[in-house]
Amino acid sequence: MNEKQMAGGKAADYIEDGMTIGLGTGSTVYFMLQKLGKRVKEGLQIKGVSTSDSTTQLAKSLDIPLISINEIDQIDLTIDGADEVDAELNGIKGGGGALLYEKVVASISSKIIWIVDSAKLVESLGTFPLPVEVLPFGSHQVFRLFEKEGLQPSFRKKEDAYFITDSGHYVIDLKMESIKHPEKTASWLDGITGVVEHGLFLNMADLLIVGEAGGPAIIYRKK
Ligand SMILES: O=C(CO)[C@H](O)[C@H](O)COP(=O)(O)O
């Protein structure tokens, strides 16, 4: 069993009957959804809130019942992947481009579990390029601002065209190497007009499940 499968499978055990579950996006979440699909077939009653078109498609193919986020005010548990996680359980997300919906879902979740393989653990965030979702209108001005700040921005591309998120935005990836003050960086990005969302997810995850050779490691966020 690979590490992603191990972490994804373990996380599905935290889902209880009657829960509303935030369904993250990515290749680790894929394995969680496979196990959840099995449990639903065996009679587990849940409602899933999807964070992307790809997760919606996969959940539907597994007969996992979905509910629109607009019909609820609170999610019991969200299970999602991450691109980098530090010892405080702060992370970078958005490698798959679903950061905006993932953050909206996270913001109304009572509990958040992240599932990762061991390569995602870092001492400090920033080796993974930080995704910033931007409005296409004015995006080149934002890009040039990032250039001036020395952040080596690049527009994310798909087959030579701009990568377009599920909500119709572009993604600019920033090479920050090491983010010394994640809170400061997050509030700076929050203040830039045209930035819709960024991939710094701070003080959000409650629990981290890491796939490791000897079995899944469970790490709680220090309160
Ligand atoms: O944030 C995400 C998508 O926007 C994913 O959770 C993140 O990229 C991790 O993906 P994977 O499990 O495929 O490594």
Residues of each domain in the chain carrying CATH 3.40.50.1360 = 3-118+202-214
Choose the CATH number for 3-118+202-214 among 3.10.20.740, 3.40.50.970, 3.40.50.1360, 3.40.50.300.
Answer: 3.40.50.1360
Q: b/e string for 54-71 if b means 16 or more Cβ within 10 A?
A: bbbebbeebebeeeebee
- For the stretch 17-57, pLDDT in tens is 999 999 999 999 999 999 999 999 999 999 999 999 999 99
CA distance 52 to 70: 15
The ipTM (two decimal places) reads: 0.98
**Is-above-0.90 flag for pTM?**
yes
C-alpha of residue 156 to centroid of ligand 1, in Å: 15
- For the stretch 78-131, pLDDT in tens is 999 999 999 999 999 999 999 999 999 999 999 999 999 999 999 999 999 999
Residues of each domain in the chain carrying CATH 3.30.70.260 = 130-196
Q: In 20-138, which residue ranges form alpha helices assigned H by DSSP?
A: 27-41, 53-61, 99-107
pLDDT at 73: 96
Q: Which of 84, 102, 133, 197 is catalytic?
A: 102
CA distance 165 to 147: 22
For 130-196, give the CATH class.
alpha beta
Cβ 82 under 6 angstroms from ligand 1: yes
Instruction: At 60, list the tokens.
Output: 């539907």
Assess whether 102 carries a catalytic annotation: yes
Cβ 129 under 6 angstroms from ligand 1: no
pLDDT at 223: 75
